[in-house]
Structure formats: C-alpha cells, structure tokens
Amino acid sequence: MTTVTTTRPASRPVPVREVADRPPRSDRRAGLLLSTPFLIVYLVFLVGPLLMGIVLSFFNTTTVKDGLGAWVGVSNYTKVVKDSLFWDALWHSVLFTLITTPLLVLLALLAAVLASRIRRGRVFYRLAFFAPYVVPSSVVALIFLWMYTPQVGLLPKLFGAVGLAPPDFLGSTSGGWTAVILMTLWWTFGFNFVLYTAAIQDVPPDVYEAAAIDGASPWQQIRLITVPLLRPTTSLVLILQILASLKVFDQIYLLLGGGPNQSTRPVIEYIYDTGFTSYRGGYGAAATMVYFVLIVAVSAAWYALRRRGVTRAATRTVPTTATLATTPAAPRAGA
C-alpha cells in the first residue's frame, strides 16, 4: 500500500510532460476533425487521380472508350522517353523557368523595395504593381495578342514609327519567347511583389532608424538590412516561382498555341495534345508521370538544399540577430 502511494506522485509528472510534448487527445481529435474535409478532397482529387494516372500509364487507355484498354506494359514510357518532341517540350518548360524565375524574383524585390521607400502615393504603386495579377490569363493573352499582332498591332507600329524593323513577335521562335516572357513578367510579378511587400513591412522600422543615425545611406540600408532580412521570403518566392514556371501552359497556349512550329510548346501542352486532342489517355498519363517525377525531384532537391543551408546559417546568423536586437535599444534611449 505504501509503495503504491509513494509511486503515485512520481508517476504524475509523466502525463504532465506528455501534455507539454503533444497536445491532449481531445485537441488532436479536433485537429483531425477540422482537417477531414481537406483530407477527403486531397484524397479524392489529388491522391486518387495520381494513382489512377499511374495505372492508366500502363494501358492503351483512350478518352473515347470506357475502360482501361489493352495492357501495354511500360511501352508508353519507352515511347515517351524516345519522343524527341517530348524532350523539346520539356526543354521549353525548363527554358521558360530559367528565364522567368530570376527576372520575376529580382523585379518583384526591386519594385517592392522602391514601393516601400516611396513617400507619396504608396497605395497607388502597390495597387498598380499587383493589379495585372488579378486579370485572367485569357484576357491578358487577348490584350497582348493585339499588341503583338503583325502589321496592325501596337508594338509593330511603334517599331515602325521610329524606323525600326518590327520583330516578328508571334511568328518567330525568338520573337515568340520574347512575347511570352514580357507578357508573363507583366502579368505575374505582382504575386511575388505582394510577398516581398508583406515581408518588408515586417522589418522593424527601428532597424532603419538606427542605421540612418549611424550614417547608412539608403542604398546601404537596402543592401545590408532589407535584402538579408528578406532571405526567408526570397527562398519561398524562389521555390514558388520555380514550381509555377515549370507548370507554364495557359499563356503560351493562348498566345502562340505552342508555335511557331511547336518551338515554344511547353511540356504540359504536349501532355494535353497527346492525352486529350489525340485521345491517347494512357500515353498522356505516362508523359505526366515522367514530368511529375521531375517536379518532385526539383522540389525535394530544393528542400534538401534549404535544410542544409538553414542549419549551416543558423550558427552564423545568431550573432547578427543578437546585434540587431540590441542596436535598436541604444538609439531609442538616445532619442
């Protein structure tokens, strides 16, 4: 009896520690319950189709007939891998990503910094930079199509007005790429701009105040305070932008139809063309899987790099944050 009473108080801290480590069971159940709608949607519309796609990719499935069609083994995959047009299309998606990602990140950062330092009409600039992002791609494509139209469009006319030969924006490969990248920059950079604007607002004004009192020029403030403090945002913007750019489809499809001579056709349009336009569902599914693996690999590589970067930087950033935390105190006391 006595042993029991002595052990009881000793065992008590155990559930208490458990509570500290993990939320109580009722909380966990509530969490699960709250996320159930999402999990159902996730399973039905994401995991389900993905598994279905994997199955389809081994059959000669077609969209015009019920059922899976004949078993073809891995031949859909071998045909996709051997198709030069698939690799061309894949390269177009990668090329688009390589060109647009740095531009969209840098321009958004630049615009966000400028818009935050401006004194008058800040709301106007924020709105102006973000406004294009809310326009649907079909509308943007229509507007730009008119601007690029050979002979009668705004841009060819402008070139003509200053005596320059207008580039063939829609009919040549280089012109097509230029056209689609300019349009994408104008249309999508507002999203990154908003992320950066939000992050800039999170930087305590005291830091700038202190720097200004220490004699830092605006450029030094941007270079030594804003940009380093925005590093987590930059990392997020980068991966979001890479994934978004790799998924490019609508603006190229609407503006150029993947032309001229399929020289701008992104891989998603290749999948759409074979899977839907040519009714070759199984083949399209195989192409999708190849691309899916590629995108997952990019995301995983990015995640791994970031984790390594974070752990390495952690030791280095500690003194920096410490100084940053202490410096505001001094000027405030002085003021």
Partner 1 sequence: MGGAMTRRRLLALGGGLALTGGLSACSSPLASGLTGSQPDAADVIFWNLFTGGDGANMVLMEDAFRTSHPGVSLEATILGWGNPYYTKLALATASGTPPDVGISHLSRLPLLAAAGLLEPVDEVGVTDLGITADRFTPAAWKKATVDGTVYAVPLDTHPFVLFYNVDLARKAGLLDASGDGLKPMARSTDFIDALKAMKDAGASYGAAMSITADPSTAWRYFSMIYSGLAGPVVTDSGTATDIDAPAMEETFAFMQSLTGPGLMPKELNGSGANVLFSTGKAGFLFDGEWQIPSYRLVKGLHFNVVPFPALLGPKPVAYADSHALVVPRNPGRSAARTALAARFIRSVLDHSATWAHGGHVPAWLPIQRSKGFLDQSPQRNYVQAAFNAQYDPVAWYTGAGSDFQNTVGATIIEVLAGRLGPAGAVAAMRADLGRYTTARPPVTMK
Total residues interacting with partner 1, rule: CB under 8 A: 39
Instruction: Scan for tokens 């899976």, then name that residue.
Output: 68
By CB under 8 A, residue 66 contacts partner 1:
yes
**Residue whose CB is less far from partner 1, 192 or 288:** 288
Candidates 17, 22, 28, 65: give the one binding partner 1 (CB under 8 A). Answer: 65
CA dihedral 112, 117, 120, 123 (to 10 degrees): 30
As to burial, measured by CB atoms within 10 angstroms (0-12 exposed, 13-18 middle, 19+ buried), residue 65 is exposed
* Least Cβ distance, residue 32 to partner 1 (angstroms): 18
By CB under 8 A, residue 145 contacts partner 1:
yes
* Least Cβ distance, residue 95 to partner 1 (angstroms): 18
Contact present, 200 and 230 (Cβ < 8 Å): yes
**Residue whose CB is less far from partner 1, 230 or 255:** 255
Site for partner 1 in 195-254 (CB under 8 A): none
Cα dist. 259→96, 131, 152, 249, 287 in Å? Answer: 14, 29, 20, 13, 20
Structure tokens at 31: 């969490």
* Least Cβ distance, residue 239 to partner 1 (angstroms): 32
Candidates 72, 109, 155, 210: give the one binding partner 1 (CB under 8 A). Answer: 72
Candidates 183, 256, 271, 324: give the one binding partner 1 (CB under 8 A). Answer: 256
Structure tokens at 247: 């998924």
**Residue whose CB is less far from partner 1, 151 or 315:** 151
| Buried/exposed code over 17-49 (b: 16+ C-beta within 10 A; e: otherwise) | eeeeeeeeeeeeeeeeeeeeeeeeeeeeeeeee
Candidates 89, 126, 280, 289: give the one binding partner 1 (CB under 8 A). Answer: 280
By CB under 8 A, residue 159 contacts partner 1:
no
Which residues pair with residue 178 across a beta bridge? none
* Least Cβ distance, residue 222 to partner 1 (angstroms): 42
Contact present, 255 and 187 (Cβ < 8 Å): no
Candidates 217, 257, 293, 310: give the one binding partner 1 (CB under 8 A). Answer: 257
DSSP-derived 3-state class of residue 60: coil
Candidates 149, 178, 317, 327: give the one binding partner 1 (CB under 8 A). Answer: 149
| Residue 279 to residue 64: CA distance in whole angstroms | 7
* Least Cβ distance, residue 258 to partner 1 (angstroms): 7
Binding site for partner 1 (CB under 8 A): 60, 62-66, 69, 72, 75, 79, 85, 145-146, 149-153, 168, 170-172, 255-262, 273-274, 276-281, 283
